[in-house]
Amino acid sequence: MTREGDASQGSGGTVGAPKTLAEKILSEHVVEGTLEAGKEIGLKIDQAITQDATGTMACLQFEALEIPRVKTETAVNYVDHNTLQTGFENADDHRYLQSFASKYGMFFSRPGNGICHQVHLERFSEPGKTLVGSDSHTPTSGGMGMIAIGVGGLDVAVAMGGGPLYIKTPQIVGIKLTGKLQDNVSAKDVILEVLRRLGVKGGTGKIFEYFGEGVASLDVYERATITNMGAETGATTSIFPTDERTKEFLKRQKRENAFKELKADEDAKYAEVIEINLSELVPLVAKPSSPGDVAKVSEVEGTPVQQVIFGSCTNSSLKDLMTVAAILKGKKIPPSVSVALACGSRQVAIEMARNGALADLVEAGVRVLENTCGPCIGMGQAPPTGAVSLRTFNRNFPGRSGTKDDKVYLCSPEVAAASALAGKITDPRKLGEVKVNTPGEIKIDDSMIIPPTEDGSDVEIIRGPNIAPLPIAKPLAESIEAKVLLKVGDNISTDQIMPAGAKILPLRSNVPKISEFVFNAVDPEFVKRAKENNGGFVVGGENYGQGSSREHAALAPMYLGVKAVIVKNFARIHKSNLVNFGILPLELANPKDYDSIAQGDTLSLPEIREAIEKGSEETEAVVGGKNIKLKISLSKREREIIAAGGLLNYTRSKAN
């Protein structure tokens, strides 16, 4: 079997050539372009998902496209992020989303039914299909052999309208799994190992395809943990083959008909192969405040913890939480630690309640939360000042928990459970064998998923006062001269650009209001400066815009007049969101020029429109009396979108 590096990889379109699994699914869905790494392709999308925090925008955008009905095979509108309801805003949004789903042909997963990725994996994911979602962890369904990609809400709206999803063809990197995990080392440690080796931008422009004999030792839940958190490497997506374990999973979900056996051809070539011997893995943690800052548990063992939380779309499956229950059963949480848990879905919660595991957890002293994202997005459970919080989540960007200067560690359910009991970071291998009894048969109850109406023409959309009209960008000017409003460093996350949390998330449907919080924790004066100067530029370092898919991190700066973002390089989803909202994403041709730009400088981009329209790959900026070169890495289509002032303007002008 030939597996090793072939730099010329991209033969997905060549008839008869052996293919990787990703190439097989991509080539069945390509409707524009050819599969050549780095080149833009248009993909037919089979399934689409939105969630409430990004969904109101996606739905408003769908309405603006004036398409009468959703055209994907399946589309699901989930409510899972914005469920605290401290005022009327979230509840109004939910009502809008429910009426939208009914009118336009989406399933509606009601608040309390679970986290979108977990529910989608259980109830909708299908091997071999394509899925887009307005959430960066959409690749969770890659654990079921799907090409599942996280994008901005506007891209989902277009896909729901039957349009292709445009992406740069990723390189397909193989991750070969050998061996078998030791007791109390789990799937989270596999993806933390990937992050330890590759860091938070090591996956940019890549699809990670898992293969090898180690795959069979992982069930679908475990595979989904790995593909979910692959998002933290910046990868376009991650995928596992399907097999008996997938069939078993689908059978338990009473969806056996969806099963298809899928794997790479024997001689398929990967651009690169990374080998991970599961038997050699040890428990790992990501230290504050980056998912890429990975260390062995042994290096931080003994660190006192004040908070432990189980849940999030990475680790809230029945298997994960039954494992936690088995570890905590009959024990008590010490008074120095606050422990909370959120099940990933109502299905998980029902099973745990029926088999007594939930009672074991409550008896141990666990605070049970509703089946939502909750603390993962700063919706409650902010840790105390200076405290260490250990979470089974996938992100720990600064301040995301809701506490400034927080110290959040990310780890497996096993590490979190052992540490909760000990009050300090603890290696779970010390627990010895943990017997987990996941129920053989599970009850399927989809009563909190409302199917779309056959004909939605009579359904009235209900809008509350929180839903403000969509701001639309202006077409690109001939030239731009403006102030550098802010200069930031490397790895700025969208959580830093457009914070979330219980206070700000309810404003997601109201761009004028939410824009008051842009860069709030980075520089509280930013908004004032942007307004005083009538907009301007943002300058940044590497991997700018990593993390979430929230298009508000582009939409709100656009509303404040940000014209271009000039950085060393971008994270994929954020760059697309900037294009979609008419903000120029420019990269420094020479990264050293980063030092020649200072906050407050006046920067000009003479003849920028011509450069964009002509297809120039470089343009010059004049700043501080110096000329610097900027790369324009945009496809023809993206240039047209920027020139038109964003995707909505572009789509409308095409339709006309």
**Residue closer to ligand SF4 (CB basis): 59 or 376:** 376
Contact between 52 and ligand SF4 by CB under 6 A: the answer reads no
CA distances 407 to 197, 451, 491, 601, Å, are 22, 42, 18, 35
Which segments of 149-296 does DSSP mark as H helices, in order?
Answer: 153-160, 187-198, 220-229, 244-252
Q: How many C-beta atoms surround the C-beta of residue 151 within 10 A?
A: 30
25, 43, 48, 53: which one contacts ligand MIC (CB under 6 A)? 53
For residue 35, give every residue at least 6 positions away whose Cβ sits within 8 Å of its Cβ, in sequence order, or none.
10, 11, 12, 13, 23, 26, 27, 41, 169
CB 311 within 8 A of CB 393: yes
For residue 339, give every residue at least 6 positions away whose Cβ sits within 8 Å of its Cβ, in sequence order, or none.
307, 308, 309, 310, 333, 364, 365, 366, 367, 420
Residue 550 interface partner, choices ligand MIC, ligand SF4, none, CB cut-off 5-8 Å depending on type: ligand MIC
Contact between 377 and ligand MIC by CB under 6 A: the answer reads yes
**Residue closer to ligand SF4 (CB basis): 98 or 312:** 312
Instruction: Report which secondary-structure segment, H or E, holds 43.
Output: strand 40-43
Contact between 313 and ligand SF4 by CB under 6 A: the answer reads yes
Stretch that binds ligand MIC, among 135-143, 268-276, 561-569, 638-646 (CB under 6 A): 135-143
9, 289, 312, 392: which one contacts ligand SF4 (CB under 6 A)? 312
Residue 549 interface partner, choices ligand SF4, ligand MIC, none, CB cut-off 5-8 Å depending on type: ligand MIC
Contact between 135 and ligand MIC by CB under 6 A: the answer reads yes
CA distance 239 to 223: 9
Binding mask 550-589 for ligand MIC (x = CB under 6 A): x---------------------------------------
State which of positions 94-123 bind ligand SF4 (CB under 6 A).
Answer: 115
Residue 101 Cβ vs ligand SF4, minimum distance, rounded to whole Å = 19
CA distances 267 to 438, 482, 586, Å, are 37, 54, 39
Residue 312 interface partner, choices ligand SF4, ligand MIC, none, CB cut-off 5-8 Å depending on type: ligand SF4
CA distance 628 to 623: 8
Stretch that binds ligand SF4, among 370-378, 435-443, 532-540, 626-634 (CB under 6 A): 370-378
Contact between 376 and ligand SF4 by CB under 6 A: the answer reads yes
Tokens 């989902």 appear where?
Answer: 156
CA distance 209 to 544: 25
With b for 16 or more beta-carbon neighbours within 10 A and e for fewer, the 49-70 pattern comes to: bbbbbbbbbbbbbbebbebeeb
Residue 115 Cβ vs ligand SF4, minimum distance, rounded to whole Å = 5
First to last CA, the chain: 52
State which of positions 498-537 bind ligand MIC (CB under 6 A).
Answer: 500
E-assigned strands of 141-271? 147-150, 165-168, 171-178, 206-211, 237-239
137, 201, 223, 487: which one contacts ligand MIC (CB under 6 A)? 137
Stretch that binds ligand SF4, among 181-189, 215-223, 369-377, 627-635 (CB under 6 A): 369-377
Contact between 345 and ligand SF4 by CB under 6 A: the answer reads no
Kindly report the CA angle at 467 between 463 and 471, in degrees rounded to 5? 130
- The rounded Cα 261 to chain-centroid distance in angstroms is 26
Stretch that binds ligand MIC, among 463-471, 509-517, 541-549, 591-599 (CB under 6 A): 541-549
Contact between 612 and ligand SF4 by CB under 6 A: the answer reads no
Residue 284 interface partner, choices ligand MIC, ligand SF4, none, CB cut-off 5-8 Å depending on type: none
Pairing of strands 584-588, 562-567: parallel
Residues of the shown chain interacting with ligand SF4 in the complex, contacts defined by CB under 6 A = 81, 115, 135, 137, 312-313, 373, 376-377, 394-395
Residues of the shown chain interacting with ligand MIC in the complex, contacts defined by CB under 6 A = 53-54, 81, 135-137, 150, 377, 395, 500, 547-550
